[in-house]
Structure 1
């Protein structure tokens, strides 16, 4: 997504009290739920790997 998009999402989440997930996936549709689940899968968080766009 890039630094600027991610920082804007983080700022909005902080100011609104909404989750990053709700803003990025549900509201702005910047990433699909499937891709979100792949990125934040526990195994991937423990042993990171490259994920194709």
Structure 2
């Protein structure tokens, strides 16, 4: 059985899929906006520095 990825208790509601409610959808959004979730990446050190000769 598929459950809500936030609360793990309820099945998803079609209106908020994959979440069970607006509350769980908002919790997930807040985690993205606050930086709790992040996509790992390597820093780009090979980029040339900007030209300041104007």
TM-score higher than 0.5 here? Answer: no
**Larger of the two Rg values belongs to structure:** 2
Which structure is higher in helix share? 1
